[in-house]
Structure 1
């Protein structure tokens, strides 16, 4: 009943806006330009795909530290933080980060466990971002494997209108109620210098340090010596250093740039168990077995775009990336606050050679365009896996794919465009895969745009699903080298309307529906019992099915200096999960989500007031119990951020003050949580570290 009521509200809200008077007037308006999935940069209105934008101004207003701060506000996306290893990943439509691809300038970003997928959002620096583009639904033709639920493309700045640009940033932020200048809170410093040598050459260098001192909450920190489970942190301390460098050249229709990025991240883990020991030197002492996660990422990207034979448009990218995570284990003596027995080992790494390229503009007739493209991936993965008797064994495997795709854009009329495409992927480890898509766009009168698409895509098994092993004390969970890629089919349809009136009033509305069907979904399942011990043995196999439908509405109102955004969505998810003994019900489980933002600009004050709100509705999922699959419910939550941004000294100094998570959310109740060997219990889902306040100062010197 609640879902039906929510659906009626959503549809009535959208209908109210779409049914307005049609007395619009022609207004010259600078179109938003997008590049994701396009043959060339073009206005968002001309795109056959439904592209959503997150502007650099939104990022500034949020004073976001990393990508997770931004995506927390995005409809249909859930950020999933982990207090155990400090990672934050993304879930869209109930599908985790393995189905959603993150790109930087059209190149998938590496992490220690994959390429483009399962990316840690907290490791993505926001300093040089021009805008963020998101396309929901299957993008397998243009972006290959694992672009099932959507893609996010971070577009970085490769030019400047100033000869010299110097930007220095200092940001101080509380972590919940915890803050001090050095030992608590978050401390961010950034510096960027750019220079135009002439009309063609541009260079920039930058560095960003993000020092997160962790969140204690009810914990007592690393020097707490009692063995009562209170030692350590609820959120682990983390320090990141990002450095970037860019060299670009532009002349006429030719451009080339080289970009380098280096990430160094240290995450400190403090064991809650305090142990006792004795030796003749120290006498009685207390210690804990702690560890550090040490991550390094190197990112090289060379891109060239221009014309061949004065006619064909080409765009080529070559990338060499590596991310490696080491684990340093050591004994920490609490009385002397010293370390010993430090042992550092490589835990995971991914080394990738990547290249993609397109060729388009084959026909002089502007009504038809053809794009040919390729993508080559050479991926060398490494992981330590835990065998029986607590023995760790290194696994190194090389996975390659060679993809070729063709896409066409046909303007059947001035109003109607068709975008068919197909991709063929030669896989080194699996059967060759295919992806296909068909996009349609029709422009009606009075600013109404209708879009529809169908896409078939695939997801290849991850390194963990193929090779992981966890065997100890009666637990047996392993990967499976015989897994096959998952396949999916998606359908999307959207209708947009833009209303612009002589008074300066602007209204933008969109109603969108989508459906996704995933087959051969990979899941952990019972495959047998050990002959000697009788313990159950679990393994990843292709066994599950997944279906999702979604209806969402996005609306924007602008009048003079006021901008209001409102969005709502209903998501229904059906999963058929089996463990070889019993199966889940495949009925649809629903969730209802809202988001909204308000921004008001006072030019005479050089001040912008902003607020961002998101409601994550109650969600349900099946988890494995002892004799059946049980429905687990996660309670709803509300998130509100607010900020004031003001410029001083002829716009050279920019100050932003604000608060995140004003509703003070930390954990959300979950009625049942999955335990080991099919056990289920109630618990809480880690969401955030409570209400926090920030002050950000940026000095810009542009000459």
Structure 2
């Protein structure tokens, strides 16, 4: 009788499967969709607490098999040391998938640059480096260079003749770097470096900085050959009213006085939620730099005094599927080049010949995001008006009267830019991928005394498309292409291909190829700068630079309890053709012009590590970049194809949380830079000569203290090693340095204190 009973019971189980079903729960990483092994799954109900028999461990496939009643509701709790605890009341079907979120918040940081929608850093096909508001405040930075100067693969150079700085990324000059403000390209490439002066950005409005190295020309068009720096500003507050008042006082070397010498940088920022839909913001900032005398005189300073005024506002309207904001920014900057005192004539009052460089920039932008079909439509429209003027005048040092010098010594240049960018993101979705379709258009108008006569215009229209394809649960493939039409030059077709492969839940590899290009600027096309020290003419026949970039990045993360370790090893190679450079024909009194004659390459290897444990955070990095030596192709001497320069950095932060104190240290080593040039010998022959710029180290210390009632104080020492310049044997020129054989780096060791007071009313 036992056998028939067993058979009947089996038949009953098959017919009444909800009573006897074997159910499966799949535990996956919420970012990579990879299985999570070793997760503890606990099944219980309100009337039946969990016991040892209702606890399960996920296998290598992230799966647990349980014997419970299908269709019933259970309390399911999932725990894993590397992920946030999960608990919910769910209906059990034959198969259930639970996605866990990483326990370390750093891995969930959202980025927007080059993305279809905000996405966590770990899931992007690009390697995106982020710098948050907290880091900016911990450094007590007064300009963007203070922050980026600590990053690997970014270097700055100083032009004391114009009081501006140049930048390089991946060994490529800053004119190949696209600088964006909330996704809008900044206008105003000027100076000998022909690039954006990042010190002209209001650092107190910055919420986050996102850096993508390598060509981003498919998404952002011309000038994104070396990479993109996207500066994202504050646009919301969680409170009804937020008022922030910041005071910053700093010495310049050992020079300081209350109202003139040193750095004085007060600012105010007001944010107000009118209701749940409307948000408004107003801000203003003054940044007064009193200059640095160095080895100059009281008037003829090595670093010129500079005063900047920033102001602006924002109005934002937000509904469930609709978001629009209007933002306006204004900058006024005056740089003073105070000449030496001339008191040789006893019949005349002492006087000096001074110069002022004044910049004014207005930026208006309207950005909209609206749900369209299955995706979102993003539209940005901006108008920028940038003007830089040079005034030279004779100043009577007794009466303080001023009189303009000859008209030839007064210069001005202006740029007016209309820009629009429109994308349809995730609008075309299918089972294995999604896409982005986009169009951008740029119209630039320029004029001034340093350009050829008449107004100059440049029109550019770009159409671009990309798709992000998901193969299985571990591979993402993003192909993309841009077609551009330009009124001045033939714009190349720009393709790209990026891959991201999840080797495991903790290890990711990224591979990328990008075709980049840099457009000849209006300045390079129509430049006309002729005076006692310059004879430079533009070239209207210039073509676009173009490059091929290859990069690879291997990233591994380990978490254990409250400890977090992230290791990254990456490499890049850039091959730039048709490079625009200066060219001086042989013969007497020949003007310098621009031409597409150069080829340039860079390659590099970089390692970075980040370790967090309880109150301690440590970031270490090393970079080795090689720069191409074109003389290796034409010189009979033994000139290597690449010369290499190292970099290393270390950022350490320790929190005394109970006391509200944070100690921070920011260190960077910049290795010696070398290059070859041809030198004419006494017998008329030419030989390659090695040019060298010495290495230097940069070190900052800061202490941050949080008090009650919204007050935070930051104090510290910047450039603790007191570096002012480094030796070099590069040929001297009007823009090299004020002292022969030296390249300026800084104005020496300085001390600062910053007070930040924030008022927040009740939540909105």
**TM-score normalised according to structure 2 size:** 0.82
Is 1:607–1:644's contact at 8 Å kept on the other side of the alignment?
yes
Number of the residue aligned with 1:568: 622
Is 1:185–1:214's contact at 8 Å kept on the other side of the alignment?
yes
Matched, 1:27 2:83: yes
Separation in structure 2 between the aligned mates of residue 625 and residue 469 of structure 1, nearest angstrom = 28
Of 486, 495, 501, the residue aligned with 2:560 is 501
Is 1:528–1:538's contact at 8 Å kept on the other side of the alignment?
no
The 1:629–1:322 alpha-carbon spacing in structure 2 relative to 1, beyond 3 Å, is: farther
Is 1:113–1:463's contact at 8 Å kept on the other side of the alignment?
no
The 1:103–1:580 alpha-carbon spacing in structure 2 relative to 1, beyond 3 Å, is: same
Of 414, 435, 446, the residue aligned with 1:381 is 446
The 1:366–1:276 alpha-carbon spacing in structure 2 relative to 1, beyond 3 Å, is: farther
Matched, 1:293 2:361: no
Matched, 1:318 2:381: yes
**Deviation of 1:486 (Å):** 0.8
Number of the residue aligned with 2:578: 520
**Deviation of 1:700 (Å):** 0.3
Is 2:514–2:548's contact at 8 Å kept on the other side of the alignment?
yes
The 1:275–1:487 alpha-carbon spacing in structure 2 relative to 1, beyond 3 Å, is: farther
Matched, 1:304 2:368: yes
Separation in structure 2 between the aligned mates of residue 598 and residue 568 of structure 1, nearest angstrom = 15
**Deviation of 1:469 (Å):** 3.0
Number of the residue aligned with 1:266: 334
Is 2:629–2:640's contact at 8 Å kept on the other side of the alignment?
yes
Of 238, 257, 280, the residue aligned with 1:203 is 280
- Root mean square deviation of aligned Cα: 2.5
**Deviation of 1:82 (Å):** 2.4
Matches within 5 A, 1:149-548: 149-222=226-299, 232-272=300-340, 274=342, 276=344, 283-309=347-373, 311-341=374-404, 345=410, 347-365=412-430, 367-385=432-450, 394-471=453-530, 476-502=535-561, 504-529=562-587, 534-548=588-602
1:142 alignment partner, SS class: helix
Residues 445-482 of structure 1: per-residue CA shift (max 9 Å, x gap): 24001001000011111233222234456964322111
Q: Which runs of 5+ in 1 are unaligned?
A: 1-21, 223-231, 387-392
1:604 alignment partner, SS class: coil
Is 1:290–1:332's contact at 8 Å kept on the other side of the alignment?
yes
Separation in structure 1 between the aligned mates of residue 666 and residue 700 of structure 2, nearest angstrom = 5
Matches within 5 A, 1:32-51: 32-51=109-128
Is 2:189–2:197's contact at 8 Å kept on the other side of the alignment?
no
Is 1:324–1:346's contact at 8 Å kept on the other side of the alignment?
no
Separation in structure 2 between the aligned mates of residue 109 and residue 562 of structure 1, nearest angstrom = 37
Number of the residue aligned with 1:390: none
Number of the residue aligned with 1:105: 182
Q: Which has the higher strand share?
A: 1
Number of the residue aligned with 1:634: 693
**Deviation of 1:332 (Å):** 1.1
The 1:306–1:101 alpha-carbon spacing in structure 2 relative to 1, beyond 3 Å, is: same
Is 1:372–1:406's contact at 8 Å kept on the other side of the alignment?
yes
1:60 alignment partner, SS class: helix
Number of the residue aligned with 2:613: 559
Q: Which runs of 5+ in 2 are unaligned?
A: 1-37, 40-79, 85-102, 681-685
Is 2:491–2:544's contact at 8 Å kept on the other side of the alignment?
no
Matches within 5 A, 1:80-99: 80-99=157-176
Residues 222-271 of structure 1: per-residue CA shift (max 9 Å, x gap): 2xxxxxxxxx1110000001002011111112111111100011111122
The 1:700–1:342 alpha-carbon spacing in structure 2 relative to 1, beyond 3 Å, is: farther
Separation in structure 2 between the aligned mates of residue 74 and residue 644 of structure 1, nearest angstrom = 20
Of 713, 721, 728, the residue aligned with 1:670 is 728
Paired residues, number: 652
**Deviation of 1:340 (Å):** 2.1
Number of the residue aligned with 1:10: none
**TM-score normalised according to structure 1 size:** 0.88
The 1:582–1:351 alpha-carbon spacing in structure 2 relative to 1, beyond 3 Å, is: farther
Residues 472-515 of structure 1: per-residue CA shift (max 9 Å, x gap): 5696432211111111000000000111112x110011000000
**Deviation of 1:383 (Å):** 3.4
Residues 117-136 of structure 1: per-residue CA shift (max 9 Å, x gap): 71112111111222100000
**Deviation of 1:576 (Å):** 1.8
**Deviation of 1:275 (Å):** 6.6
Separation in structure 1 between the aligned mates of residue 678 and residue 446 of structure 2, nearest angstrom = 31
Number of the residue aligned with 1:61: 138
2:203 alignment partner, SS class: coil
Separation in structure 1 between the aligned mates of residue 180 and residue 422 of structure 2, nearest angstrom = 15
**Deviation of 1:315 (Å):** 0.7
Is 2:631–2:677's contact at 8 Å kept on the other side of the alignment?
no
The 1:509–1:578 alpha-carbon spacing in structure 2 relative to 1, beyond 3 Å, is: closer
Rg larger for: 2
Residues 360-400 of structure 1: per-residue CA shift (max 9 Å, x gap): 223443531111001100001123239xxxxxx64521011
Residues 566-602 of structure 1: per-residue CA shift (max 9 Å, x gap): 0000001113269999999562011010011001111
